[in-house]
Amino acid sequence: MQIVVDSKPNDADRDIIVAGLRAFNASAVGRPRNFLPLAVLLTDDANQTVGGLWGEAVLDWLFIELLYVPENLRGHALGTQLMAKAEAFARDNKLVGIWLDTFSFQARPFYEKLGYRVFGTIENYPPGGARYFLSKTL
């Protein structure tokens, strides 16, 4: 066996790692668990995606990986609506809760206003800031 550092990996390499880890995780928790993708898209009048929310239900929790509302559309409760759709998805699929992460220069107060609580922090990431991990039990 060799260990190779690759700064330009391909999707096939990632797929092998993900498949192996998911198989191991499924065997460790005693039964296969849900792996449900989620996209809640924000589209314009031409039906073009301009923002939205991206996540995945894994092991009975929804992980929100990405949330983006274009700057010119902020302040119109669109982020709140996107999060509400994600929470409805989680409830409909009988998930335990939702977790996500955000940086100190991003949206921590927004998530806290929606009932999310910080459960972990990486200080000085990025330098001078912090990365916060938040969750909400449903």
Q: In whole angstroms, what is the distance from residue 64 CA to residue 58 CA?
A: 11
Q: What is the pLDDT of residue 29?
A: 79
Q: Are strands 61-68 and 97-103 parallel, antiparallel or unpaired?
A: parallel
pLDDT the model gives residue 18: 85
pTM for this model (two decimals): 0.86
pLDDT of residue 19: 87
∠ CA 93-96-100 to the nearest 5 degrees? Answer: 100
Task: Supply the pLDDT for residue 74.
Answer: 95
The reported pLDDT for the residue numbered 59 is 87
The gap from C-alpha 131 to its chain's centroid, in whole angstroms, comes to 14
The Cα–Cα gap between 61 and 117 comes to 15
**Token digits for 107?**
């949206």
**CA dihedral sign of residues 24, 30, 32, 33:** negative
The pLDDT value recorded for residue 130 is: 98
For residue 25, the model assigns a pLDDT of 78
pLDDT average per 10 residues of sequence, the chain (138 residues): 93 91 80 81 97 94 97 97 98 96 97 98 98 98
SS3 132: strand
